[in-house]
Amino acid sequence: MNPTDHSISLEGLSIAERILLVEQIWDGIAAEAEAIPITQAQRDELDRRLAAAEADPAAGQPWEQVRARLEGGR
Mean pLDDT of the chain: 87
Half-sphere exposure of 33 (CA within 13 A, CB side): 5
Number of domains composing the chain? 1
**Does residue 28 fall inside a structural domain?**
yes
**Does residue 5 fall inside a structural domain?**
no
| pLDDT(5) > 60 | no
Q: What is the pTM of this model?
A: 0.45
pLDDT of residue 43: 94
**Does residue 2 fall inside a structural domain?**
no
Which domain range does residue 53 map to?
A: 12-72
**Does residue 45 fall inside a structural domain?**
yes
Query: How confident is the model over 7-35, as pLDDT tens digits?
Result: 678 888 899 999 999 999 999 988 887 78
Residue 21 CA to residue 62 CA, distance in Å, equals 29
**Does residue 3 fall inside a structural domain?**
no
